[in-house]
Amino acid sequence: MAKVLIDPVTRIEGHLSVELDVVRGKVSDAQVRGDMFRGFEMILKGRNPVDANQITQRICGVCPVSHGIASSRCLDDAFKIRTNRNGRLMRNLVLAGNFIQSHILHFYQLSALDYVDITAVLDYQGRDERMERLKSWARFEIESKKGKSNEITAVGPFLPRYEGEGFYIKDRDTNLSAIAHYLDALDIRLKAHKLVALFGGRVPHLIALVPGGVTETPDRHKIREFRKTLREIERFVTNIYLEDVIAVAKAYPDYFSLGGFDSFLTYGAFEEDDEEKTLLVSRGIYSKGSIVGFDPQKISEHVMYSRYNSGSQLHPSMGDTEPDPEKKRAYSWLKAPRYNGKPYEVGPLARTVVGYLSGNEAVKREVDTLLSRLDAEINVVFSALGRHACRALECRILCARAEEWLDELETGKKARTHYEIPDAGSGMGLTEAPRGALGHWIRVKDKIIDNYQCVVPTTWFCSPRDDRGVKGPVEQALIGTPISDPKNPIEAVRVVKSFDPCIACAVHVMQSGMDMGRFRIC
């Protein structure tokens, strides 16, 4: 048996490590570790409830909109208010913009370099300015070392990397095209941020999100700019992003049978009516081959293997945050959320499966078209590559629906309702972040925050074992993954990163005793 430690998993948000047992070339056991402490609940206690809307957005710079929406909905519930039509639509539009930029970021800037051969730019002799920029940007150096020739070293952002025979795309044209799109994706992400800023006030941390709605007022100029930018993004999503995902899928068909999980949860998102009875993203649970209804009271957090002395198996509304860095048997700063006592995957794959099997027409149309192009059945979606495909399809759905939401806005009319902070109360705010189900819970006492708890997507799927010893979704998804070289475990990395972990959402303060670096200040 070989022990493999991946520490840290790179090109994700935050610090995550994975320890694997590899027997006869396959993963037999896995531990996924959040290596930092999360403390935002402690920061929020004792503050004005409205502060939560801004403070929780600082949990993450990649998905602050999702936290802002969850917090706003949490406060709406505690204050017993509901936003008006413009507020609902503008919240949907800024959340859609954030979803799109995050999905594009994940595929091109975080994951693509595990599939494409970036060193191909060294030999590029064409006239594509993007390739020349990358060649310069990466600042590659070729050195001849004793016993080795043409070994690549670098101080740029793309290397070092996992080295192995057959690790990367062999087709030259496909490879170079994907590399060039790395830079195109940066420009498109900027445009997606613009969508958020038009109605959210700024990016990354929105100032326009408030209890009761949004402080911005839609006008013809903003709607026109949003629509123009949205259409540029939609062309990229359809003509480049989706095509690159399909190209990777065809180059790595094995990953349609790796990294799968079989239980999914989604809170639902993007309210389609003012009563919030209809959602664009379906709410529900997929378990044992069928869809069942979702009950938020069945959520609990286990902590036996987490570095907390908090009460275990508590509902988030009653949760607490008492760190214990020396706790025996504990190996992660993430808690272990469970629904009805079981682990569930959340995120784009979960949303797609629940939507598809619930009869969501938009999801079914996109999935069926993709499966036809791949000449595949729905089961291929339950995989590492399936997660990438679901993100691209989700971007297409959001681009199309956002156009319609723009048409529904009433120019010149406010997008918020009045609120008053109650002496006491409690609230729950559920939504979907790009990475999955996101929930905020608040308890107000004497007009201040008495308790605030967040259960974020990565806590769901990167959770450690629960009180019964059952592994979290990523730990289970890794079992059976082939590892061709224990010193270069790229296969496991691809599986982990297909979930798009965001440890910054789950943890924040460095674990004591860790030597992160030594510096001499002159």
Q: Give the pLDDT confidence of 469-497 residue by residue, as tens digits.
A: 999 999 999 999 999 999 999 999 999 99
Q: Write the Ramachandran bin of 281: left for phi over 0, alpha for psi from -120 to 50, otherwise beta.
A: beta
Q: Residue 158's pLDDT is what?
A: 73
Give a yes or no: residue 517 inside a domain. Answer: no
> Do 127 and 223 belong together in one domain?
no
Asked whether the predicted pLDDT for residue 199 surpasses 50, the reply is yes
Q: Residue 152's pLDDT is what?
A: 54
Give a yes or no: residue 520 inside a domain. Answer: no
Distance (Å, whole) CA 324 – CA 126: 57
> Do 38 and 133 belong together in one domain?
no
Give a yes or no: residue 518 inside a domain. Answer: no
Report the alpha-carbon angle 111-97-291, nearest 5. Answer: 75
> Do 180 and 226 belong together in one domain?
yes
Asked whether the predicted pLDDT for residue 444 surpasses 80, the reply is yes
The string of pLDDT tens digits covering residues 91-121 is 999 999 999 999 999 999 999 999 998 888 8
Residue 73 and residue 209 in contact, taking contact as beta carbons nearer than 8 Å: no
Distance (Å, whole) CA 435 – CA 34: 16
Distance (Å, whole) CA 30 – CA 474: 9
Distance (Å, whole) CA 459 – CA 464: 9
> Do 331 and 253 belong together in one domain?
yes
Asked whether the predicted pLDDT for residue 508 surpasses 80, the reply is no
Residue % of the chain over a pLDDT of 70: 92
Report the alpha-carbon angle 35-331-314, nearest 5. Answer: 100
Among residues 246, 269, 185, 217, the alpha carbon closest in space to that of 84 is found at 217
Residue % of the chain over a pLDDT of 90: 77
- What DSSP element (H or E) covers 181? helix 172-200
> Do 429 and 467 belong together in one domain?
yes
In this prediction, residues 305-327 reach a mean pLDDT of: 91
> Do 143 and 18 belong together in one domain?
no
Phi–psi pair at 278, nearest 5 degrees: -120, 135
- Kindly indicate the confidence band of residue 148, based on its pLDDT and cuts at 50, 70 and 90: low
For residue 390, the Cα-to-chain-centroid distance in whole angstroms is: 12
Q: Residue 516's pLDDT is what?
A: 37
Q: What is the dihedral of CA 61, 63, 64, 67, to 10 degrees?
A: -140
Q: Residue 136's pLDDT is what?
A: 72
Q: Residue 513's pLDDT is what?
A: 44
Asked whether the predicted pLDDT for residue 160 surpasses 80, the reply is no
Asked whether the predicted pLDDT for residue 176 surpasses 70, the reply is yes
Asked whether the predicted pLDDT for residue 515 surpasses 70, the reply is no
- Look up the domain containing 442 and give its range: 2-117+168-510
Q: Residue 126's pLDDT is what?
A: 81
Give a yes or no: residue 209 inside a domain. Answer: yes
Secondary structure of residue 76 in the 3-state scheme: helix
Domain total of the chain? 2
DSSP assignment, residue 126?
Answer: S
Residue 322: count of CB within 10 angstroms of its CB: 10
- Kindly indicate the confidence band of residue 145, based on its pLDDT and cuts at 50, 70 and 90: very low
The structure tokens 């402690």 sit at 42
pTM reported for the whole predicted model = 0.92
